[in-house]
Structure 1
């Protein structure tokens, strides 16, 4: 029978992406290597919280009565730093899964950002992407992880030098914790300062002082452990007892980010349901902000026992919020299935959402610069709520900010827009597209600019959807400038802009009739434009159905098999159009009509449908012009 002592270590290769990540960490220069200690303590605290939760259904996991704790041990002579917890521990397979693969770590996304990051941003990225354990190799040339799963006899040791592979072997139980995990860092020569008591103590107090598990420090062999933090839950304290630094440190601990939060929402609800909430609006975008799963990251506690970070405590359009909710109104052994269906959680979710939106309204009124930063970071996500959350839509519309043609480089609220509307204007006009530069150059804006009518410039993906789902704002409907008739004649313009509109000449009317027949298979209609003042042509959508941008998105996503035919609008006062209309040659007119359609397509961000035909028509016109010039 093979004994533990006789077992040979199993050698495994890291996944390719993990191997590359470790190489980058070891050979890159970071602005703050202290991040590794915070990450190890955060992992240890999570393990202790996991044990508390599992012990509810399996009391035998922690019958020794020893409270959860984290012990940091320093050895200057051996040049080691050890972080040990008495939490849930790991089995052999859990070690391989947690320490050797990228299944849950987001490492690929991390490396993409790491390649492009500035030196000062790298430490922040480590925490954001959940690859904290690997940061140990910034300061250690070898890392040992010794662990025993709570309730099991077997203990395992994982070892690696971070150069492409790791060993894992069963060890004698006397070499392992009774339960939990011990991480041993064999420090590099230039990382020797991490064996200094005052250095390590300061790092722990600054970065991990508010984890909900007590932390003790031993700086010499046989010395008594000194308590660094008591593990008291910050959210249970009175707000008057908590400093801004305390809040910021707690935020960094639970979010895994290194930025400073824009604000926090800390309150205790009493009455029908009792719960405490401590939520933070981050000061930078979390890496998973645009995750297709769009899940929130709020942690749920019941009577200070961590239950899950997978409960939907906020609507998806507030998924950037980080924080905790602690309630006594739920049973400790509640299942995840019951959590999603719990009326208590539904009420809590409603209460937290209202408090956060109210805090954002207050920020918009009293701290406009901070709110502008918030909107720049998370506005595209909040606008998802305009589309999805009918109940809070009026509140979200008031919060929303938009780029418009009225002010360059700044955003305006819908209230600002409505206050500046022209006499006779009944709609809030908008145009949506991929970027501001393209939208500002759109020919569809020319008539609106001439009359001084403000148009919202919408560049986020969701902007193509929510306006069609919102009936109005303060009685004013939303209307795309790329859809239907412009109706600009009914709106009073700026001084000097209300000149009497000149009628189209008979030659231009005849050319438009000809173009309508020549392009009949490609367009729904050809008509005189009421929105063009400079460009010769533009494309618009019909009054009913999606506007131009929404139709493109739906077609690109495979949700619209056939796009509707656009309407070609022609500027009857354009000198180019009048010159074309004056030539009585049907072959020339047909080429000109098709070239005008392709010009409109190009202005709309598309390409000519038939590039070869486009080139041939252009060549014929050039030849004709050269012949007339002789």
Structure 2
């Protein structure tokens, strides 16, 4: 009751003495340029979704109270001035007809400097992003830009013509006697005022935002409307109570006055012994009681329901889960999934928790070694920390968002001591386990194809967090067998598949999981690679790995469901049905080997040092040849990764060079090009006396071009690109009938001779005569707001400021009458070269 009386008294004083803007001692300030633009965008572009203003103001109030609570742990003095921590809402009508809505908190409060800094200027990194996004697109009606960029206070101008912010900072040793100040501004004004509150220190502590509502915003004085908005957006946004002032009428009976009874006196003592006899009469009918109408004022507790994580999951709706997530984690998109659970850490600490799968991954996830900052740890409904230090979730799972409420941890321990408790180490393992279980259930529901929403949710999870899950399978050795089935990989037959699905759909006799990795290549490009020609033709499924983590992921697993992974870009490709080949096909392979032996020997002689072996291919269909890595050699993708890691480093080991040379040239005996090459090699004379040097050189050049082409086709780099293109140039000349020795006109005008003289002082001076100093030439109009101009809007304000300063300076300088004074020209003293040099040396020594 004492709380309600205090609140009523405070608002009574407020209603009677709320000041106007014009006050003695008021200082008028101009909004920072970005703030002016932001206010205009907020008011004009987001007008149709102005309900968000109340959510943002309550969120700011919660932050102020939370800051007070944390500060009080080290400075208990800040709690003086107000008894409780709460947020109050009240709407009322002044005598002059204006309607006002007041949002008040008993938080940390603000000093005059903080009022100017927090409400009149911006120093946020997201400001430029917001301006660019809002000015480039039509944001009318989107309703999700406010709050996403920290613009909570400015949303008040969506419903108010004028806004007054009264605030008094909490008492501290540095500020033991704070003074209450008022920030005042209008929706259409480019200035604001900050002045001492003429009412005095009425708040005790905290901040009070008074909004003079617009004519079309009077609906926010309706308590039903305000209650609806709070329940929808803010009932879970704060752990502090939210009170709404309400008035209702009641019919109460009028109490009738009863006549006083007359005392009975006995004159005779014997009267005490006499029996009293009363006559029984008929009962008198009671008259209807009179009533009167009275107005009952009360503060209604809007968020009195228990926290959502304390409730039975069966009683919580999907909408409540989504609203709680959005208000708690300041995410204006719905989560993709969640898990509501309770448990015991194993050390005797019971807890309840809600785990959420967000709809997006932070842009900084891959750029920084961040730890999870969205694990909200509470003890008995009191927020403790979101920084778990060494016990934070691993990098791959740091994107998950969790609220944990423990029952038995002491509240008076320091954060450093809390980080070292056994409970936090166990909690980390529990959250990771529950995350994997939640994702697994989402994948299973999507695989059943019973609900389109489940399929869409899992599809979005696989699109957003697929690479993070690959990282988890690589880093988390304990859980990699559980994480790997969640990873989705594209194939030559499907857009994506899991490893389990791949194994289920393998061909009869297939004993390997085929994959092709080439970082940066799309699945469509990889599907056309020379390495998968035979696999495509025979209907085998191949994993197409184009992401940086893909090959590391499969190599870390090595085996899945007893099937080893086989890189089809390496030698040793087996289909699994070789034992079932008919005898005539085996005989045909033997005949091909004998037929092409001269060509194989020719290639081996011409590729000494470049490849380890030359063989007939069983993987090529249309391509004439390909370069594959030997069993222990580097594939083209692995070479790219190693070169990127060792760029600029001279640490080239013998094993590194050896692995790079472990390549095998495979030729396609069914290719017309290879057949023609075989005929040319067979025509070469066996005796040295009959050798045709010119024909051999031409054949050798064709062979080199063919091998270089195979390197490029297989993803490797050509050792000498200049020589490669020179050979191509000679072949093109021959095909066009152009002489190979015909020179190119390479006449080039030489550079001027060397100039030994030093450059002149003004030779490299910056010429700024071409710069448009007039802002009109920049496409800017001085004095008009820049809302649609996107290029360098700050220049406009700088130009205006410079012009104002110049104009003021010109007005303040009096005109000076020109006076000509004739002075005798001094004689020039003749100085010799030696004297001048001596003076320069002396000046240099002085400097």
Short-chain TM bin: 0.7 to 0.9
Counterparts of 1:462-501 in structure 2 under 5 Å?
A: 462-482=549-569, 484-488=570-574, 490-491=576-577, 500=586, 501=589
- Who is 2:170 aligned against? 150
Contact persistence 2:510–2:575 (CA under 8 A): no
Matched, 1:217 2:244: yes
Stretches of structure 1 lacking an aligned partner (at least 5 in a row): none
- The Cα shift of 1:84 comes to 2.7
Matched, 1:40 2:30: no
Superposed CA deviations along residues 550-581 of structure 1, whole A, max 9, x for unmatched, are 54345335568468647364432333344355
Structure 2 vs 1, CA of residues 170 and 332 (structure 1 numbering), >3 Å: closer, same or farther? farther
- Who is 1:396 aligned against? 483
- The Cα shift of 1:28 comes to 3.8
2: CA distance, partners of 1:545 / 1:22: 62
- The Cα shift of 1:333 comes to 3.7
- Who is 1:384 aligned against? 471
1: CA distance, partners of 2:714 / 2:188: 52
- The Cα shift of 1:392 comes to 1.0
2: CA distance, partners of 1:103 / 1:494: 73
Contact persistence 2:637–2:715 (CA under 8 A): no
2: CA distance, partners of 1:197 / 1:439: 63
Given candidates 720, 733, 736, the residue that maps to 1:626 is: 736
- The Cα shift of 1:79 comes to 6.5
- Who is 1:513 aligned against? 604
Superposed CA deviations along residues 443-477 of structure 1, whole A, max 9, x for unmatched, are 22223323433222234433243223334323333
Q: Which moves more between the two structures, 583-592 or 266-275?
A: 583-592
- Who is 1:292 aligned against? 368
Superposed CA deviations along residues 263-310 of structure 1, whole A, max 9, x for unmatched, are 321122136221111122234555655562443212111221112223
Given candidates 214, 217, 231, the residue that maps to 1:205 is: 231
Other structure's SS at 2:607 match: helix
Counterparts of 1:124-203 in structure 2 under 5 Å?
A: 124=144, 126-127=146-147, 132-133=152-153, 145-152=165-172, 153-154=178-179, 169=194, 171-172=196-197, 174=200, 177-183=203-209, 194=220, 197-203=223-229
Other structure's SS at 1:174 match: coil
Matched, 1:416 2:507: no
- Who is 1:251 aligned against? 325
Given candidates 6, 28, 32, the residue that maps to 1:13 is: 32
Structure 2 vs 1, CA of residues 13 and 115 (structure 1 numbering), >3 Å: closer, same or farther? closer
1: CA distance, partners of 2:83 / 2:144: 35
1: CA distance, partners of 2:399 / 2:458: 15
Structure 2 vs 1, CA of residues 19 and 436 (structure 1 numbering), >3 Å: closer, same or farther? farther
1: CA distance, partners of 2:697 / 2:218: 84
Contact persistence 1:13–1:165 (CA under 8 A): no
Structure 2 vs 1, CA of residues 208 and 135 (structure 1 numbering), >3 Å: closer, same or farther? same
- The Cα shift of 1:417 comes to 1.7
The structure whose RCO (Cα within 8 Å, separation 6+) is larger is 1
1: CA distance, partners of 2:162 / 2:212: 5
Structure 2 vs 1, CA of residues 576 and 267 (structure 1 numbering), >3 Å: closer, same or farther? same
Q: How many residues align?
A: 615
Structure 2 vs 1, CA of residues 472 and 142 (structure 1 numbering), >3 Å: closer, same or farther? farther
Contact persistence 1:105–1:131 (CA under 8 A): no
- The Cα shift of 1:155 comes to 5.0
Supply the RMSD in Å over aligned alpha carbons. Answer: 4.3
Given candidates 537, 551, 554, the residue that maps to 1:450 is: 537
Structure 2 vs 1, CA of residues 606 and 39 (structure 1 numbering), >3 Å: closer, same or farther? farther
Matched, 1:579 2:599: no
Given candidates 301, 307, 313, the residue that maps to 2:384 is: 307
- The Cα shift of 1:535 comes to 2.7
Matched, 1:329 2:389: no
Superposed CA deviations along residues 603-630 of structure 1, whole A, max 9, x for unmatched, are 46788777665544333222322349xx
Superposed CA deviations along residues 333-385 of structure 1, whole A, max 9, x for unmatched, are 44343343332111112122222222222232234324333222322222221
- Who is 1:266 aligned against? 340
2: CA distance, partners of 1:217 / 1:495: 84
Contact persistence 1:536–1:576 (CA under 8 A): yes
Instruction: Tell me the TM-score normalised to structure 1 length.
Output: 0.81
Superposed CA deviations along residues 20-47 of structure 1, whole A, max 9, x for unmatched, are 6666545546874433432332232233
- Who is 2:644 aligned against? 556
Structure 2 vs 1, CA of residues 619 and 252 (structure 1 numbering), >3 Å: closer, same or farther? same
Given candidates 425, 444, 453, the residue that maps to 1:346 is: 425
Structure 2 vs 1, CA of residues 475 and 301 (structure 1 numbering), >3 Å: closer, same or farther? same
2: CA distance, partners of 1:499 / 1:415: 34
Q: Which moves more between the two structures, 429-438 or 350-359?
A: 429-438
2: CA distance, partners of 1:385 / 1:343: 23
Structure 2 vs 1, CA of residues 93 and 185 (structure 1 numbering), >3 Å: closer, same or farther? same
Structure 2 vs 1, CA of residues 420 and 79 (structure 1 numbering), >3 Å: closer, same or farther? same
Structure 2 vs 1, CA of residues 93 and 430 (structure 1 numbering), >3 Å: closer, same or farther? farther
The structure with more radius of gyration: 2
Structure 2 vs 1, CA of residues 151 and 22 (structure 1 numbering), >3 Å: closer, same or farther? same
2: CA distance, partners of 1:464 / 1:366: 28
Contact persistence 1:143–1:184 (CA under 8 A): yes
Structure 2 vs 1, CA of residues 29 and 305 (structure 1 numbering), >3 Å: closer, same or farther? closer
1: CA distance, partners of 2:137 / 2:567: 38
Given candidates 458, 462, 477, the residue that maps to 1:371 is: 458
Other structure's SS at 2:559 match: coil
2: CA distance, partners of 1:279 / 1:292: 23
1: CA distance, partners of 2:102 / 2:711: 65
- The Cα shift of 1:595 comes to 4.0
Given candidates 530, 535, 545, the residue that maps to 2:623 is: 535
Structure 2 vs 1, CA of residues 93 and 327 (structure 1 numbering), >3 Å: closer, same or farther? farther
- Who is 1:87 aligned against? 107
- Who is 1:430 aligned against? 515
Other structure's SS at 1:41 match: helix
Superposed CA deviations along residues 578-608 of structure 1, whole A, max 9, x for unmatched, are 4355546454445445544554565467887
2: CA distance, partners of 1:508 / 1:120: 72
Other structure's SS at 1:401 match: coil
Matched, 1:439 2:439: no
Stretches of structure 2 lacking an aligned partner (at least 5 in a row): 1-22, 173-177, 248-294, 448-454, 682-694, 739-847
Instruction: Tell me the TM-score normalised to structure 2 length.
Output: 0.62
Structure 2 vs 1, CA of residues 487 and 132 (structure 1 numbering), >3 Å: closer, same or farther? farther
2: CA distance, partners of 1:164 / 1:592: 79
